[in-house]
A and B are shown apart, each in its own frame.
Chain A
Amino acid sequence: MNVKTLNEILTENPPIQFEYLRKLLDLFSQSKYLKSAFIRGSLARNDYDRASDLDMVLAVTPSAYIELINSLDELMSENFNILFKGWPDRIVPAFGGIGFVYLIEYDEKLLQIDLYILPSNRLDKLLNTPNVKKIYQRDEVIDLKQDESIEIEINDYINKKFSNFPSIESLLVEAAILAYLIKKRIKRREEFLNYSETILLNRTIRDVLRIIFDPAHKDYGWYHLKETLSRHPTSSNWCLEFEKIILQSTIHNSRSIVICLEFLFNLVREQSPEALTHIETSFKHFIKNLGESY
């Protein structure tokens, strides 16, 4: 009988995060513009579990930075089964680049991938952060010269990414990502993080309501929201529904998170269906799977 060693079994069945880490590295290292790559978060600390996300940082040649970011969604969708386009991550610490969150589907499960793309001459802050491990270095000297015009261009590009008010489609993706995070907190019984992300999700839904019913003041946050939406029967009804969701609980459970996302989907489908053009199937599929355990 062929008895496999434990090492052989572990090699054949790596944790899914490492399987995808290998795939991502194989993909991005095809380009000479990838200078180095790192992992951070639970994978670097070695305290990950089955639900952990994959936090990867890619340091790229500054002259190719913007082009790579612009091609990122296409690269990811052609090589992986991503549910949505990359969501610009507003939660990750600022290292001088931009982070994107992707949800990848495999074997009817989801894996969250946080990809942070950094110009290779801005590694200082990252390298001074604890629990960051380098996993790839291209065998050539890193050019740390700062080309001022490229620096300005990159800064403008990054600022623009976050300065524009997101579209409804983008907010839907944001809601899905947050719901996925909340589902993880529920499983791990991380009530404080559940609370924090529930607030973010409520804010996302609020912004969708604003864009639909009060576009002139879409960046007004919670200010006069109820009074504004109560002026018309249609918006008033949606506002009341939303109020019920918020007041029900300060943190979500498995059932309430699905109700919350269904509310959002129904709102957009009725009031702004064109926002669902590219993502309706994925969003419905996501809600369905949210109701099932990962």
Chain B
Amino acid sequence: MQPELKKKLINQISQIMIISNEVLAKIEREIILLNLPWTEAYKDYQSSGWKTVSLLSRSGDARDLIIDDGTPIETDVLHALPSLKKFVNNLGLKYMWARLARLEPNSYLWEHRDYTELKNERRQRLHLPIQTNKDAQIILSGHQINLGYGFLWKLNPQVPHGACNKGSTARIHLIIDCYVEEKLENLINDQWLDSEFITPLPEINPKSEDEKVAKNLAKLEFYQTAERLLLKSYHCQAQSEGACYDKIINMYKELGHIEKSDIWISKKNQFLSLGITV
């Protein structure tokens, strides 16, 4: 990989700490044994199949899932997971929010930016894979990144990114949103990114019939299926920011569905925080 590209990627996503299998195994066992109140939030941003439960939230309620600034309060779920609680406490960072996130097989988070509705402060998002598989990916900058087991990962969620799980088992991550302070900065200073976890997405195939297929589906009024087909192109091909949304917008324009086209212009604006009015 070219050094410039690697440098760009490391700024967006990187490994910042090695975590022992023993610690992870204890955390995983606790989670499996507990009947967690998994809840689907941010429904517009996903295909369905992405659920979270808060460990540290503003209200202290585990079902409080819309992340926000503030000093978070421990929820009863974190209290019931002593190994995970110990891990979070030992990290000793300045937390904004912490949650467990479960991405089911064949589930997708569409291309989006995070933190856009929050005040302007330096933050980073950390991911700890607790259960994963090689086909669970974060997508950004035209690459698939498999967040490998045994590491604490840093993700800058203000760059456009998505996620998918094309494997056959659920992916469970601890996700912590942190304010940047000295301790986190020191971890980030030593960040690295192993090439084994990076796969460039293929360039757009000019012979791809996805847009034609999607248009046919939309003509038959299977709008959701058509939209999902085009949204997933982000996870399969290297393309410019928002291109998958443009495909949907253009599809509806060609079919004369101006209202639907406008809805997707708004969604693109919202998901990517573009500040464009319809």
B198-237 vs A, Cβ < 8 Å mask (1 yes, 0 no): 0000000000000001001101111111001100000000
Interface of B is mostly: helix
B156 cross-chain contacts in A, Cβ below 8 A:
none
A79, closest chain B residue (CB): B225
Interface 1/0s, chain A 65-100, versus B by CB < 8 A?
001101100110011010000000000000000000
Query: Is the beta-carbon distance between A32 and B222 smaller than 8 angstroms?
Result: no
Q: Are B216 and A31 in contact (CB under 8 A)?
A: no
- Is the C-beta of A5 less than 8 angstroms from some C-beta in chain B? no
What residues of chain A lie closer than 8 Å to B219, measured between beta carbons? 67
Q: If the complex has contacts A71-B213, A74-B229, A75-B225, are A81 and B106 also in contact, measured as CB distance less than 8 A?
A: yes
Q: CB-CB < 8 A to B229: which residues of A?
A: 74, 78
Q: Complex formed: what's the CA distance from A172 to B14 in Å?
A: 43
Chain B 120-179 residues near chain A, CB threshold 8 A? none
The answer to the question of A33 belonging to the interface, with a C-beta cut-off of 8 Å to chain B, is yes
The CB with the most chain B CB atoms within 10 A, among A30, A71, A79, A81, is that of A71
* Nearest residue, chain A, Cβ from B217: A71
Is the CB–CB distance between B220 and A31 below 8 Å?
yes
Q: Is the CB of B225 within 8 A of A32?
A: no
Complex: how many Å from CA A71 to CA B226? Answer: 10
Query: Closest residue to A285 on the B side, CB-wise?
Result: B168
B216 adjacent to A70 (CB under 8 Å): yes
Contacts of B217 in A (CB 8 A): 71, 74-75
A199 within 8 A of B: no
Q: Does A64 contact B (CB under 8 A)?
A: yes
Give B42 Cβ to nearest chain A Cβ, in Å.
21
Expressed in whole angstroms, the Cα–Cα distance for A16 and B238 within the complex equals 38
Provide the residues of chain B in CB contact with A70, threshold 8 Å. 216
Q: Are A30 and B228 in contact (CB under 8 A)?
A: no
Number of interface residues of B (CB under 8 A): 14
- Please report the C-alpha to C-alpha distance between residue A27 and residue B223 in the assembled complex, in whole angstroms: 10
Is there an interface contact between A75 and B222, defined as CB atoms closer than 8 Å? yes
Interface positions, chain A 213-231, Cβ under 8 Å from B, are none
Q: Give bound CA distance, A184 to B228, whole Å.
A: 34
For chain A, the bracket of interface size reads: 10 to 19
Q: In the complex the two chains form, is A33's CB within 8 Å of B216's CB?
A: no
Q: Is the CB of B228 within 8 A of A33?
A: no
CB closest chain-B residue, reference A70: B216
Closest residue of B by beta carbon distance from A28? B222
A135 to chain B, nearest CB (A): 19
What B residues does A27 contact at CB under 8 A? 222, 225
The answer to whether B213 and A64 touch across the interface, beta carbons within 8 angstroms, is: no
List B100-115 residues whose CB lies under 8 Å from chain A.
105-106
Contact flag A71-B106 (CB < 8 Å), given A78-B229, A79-B225: no
Cα A50 to Cα B220 with chains together (Å): 33
Which of B106, B216, B223 sits near A67, CB closer than 8 Å? B216
Residues of chain B lying within 8 A (CB to CB) of residue A71: 213, 216-217, 220, 222
Assembled-state Cα–Cα distance A78/B223 (Å) = 12
Chain A: CB-nearest residue to B105: A81
Give the distance in Å from the alpha carbon of A220 to the alpha carbon of B134 in the complex.
46
Kindly list chain A residues whose C-beta atoms are within 8 Å of the C-beta of B220: 31, 33, 64, 67-68, 71
Residues of A within 8 A of B106 (CB): 81
B182 CB → nearest A CB, Å: 47
Contact flag A33-B225 (CB < 8 Å), given A74-B213, A81-B106: no
Contact indicator B221/A78 (Cβ below 8 Å)? no
In the assembly, what is the distance between CA of A4 and CA of B5, in Å?
59
In Å, the complex CA distance between A32 and B216 comes to: 14
- Taken residue by residue from 37 to 67, chain A's Cβ proximity to chain B (1 for < 8 Å, 0 otherwise) reads as 0000000000000000000000000001001
Known: A33-B221, A78-B228. 19 other contacts (CB 8 A): A30-B222, A30-B223, A30-B224, A31-B221, A31-B222, A32-B221, A67-B216, A67-B220, A70-B216, A71-B213, A71-B216, A71-B217, A71-B220, A71-B222, A74-B213, A74-B217, A75-B222, A78-B225, A81-B106
Which 3 pairs across A and B sit closest by C-beta, in order of nearness? A31-B221, A78-B225, A31-B220
Q: Which residues of A contact B (CB under 8 A)?
A: 27, 30-33, 64, 67-68, 70-71, 74-75, 78-79, 81
What are 12 A-B contacts with C-beta separation under 8 Å?
A: A27-B222, A30-B222, A30-B223, A33-B221, A70-B216, A71-B217, A74-B213, A74-B225, A74-B229, A78-B228, A79-B225, A81-B105
Q: Which residues of B contact A (CB under 8 A)?
A: 105-106, 213, 216-217, 219-225, 228-229
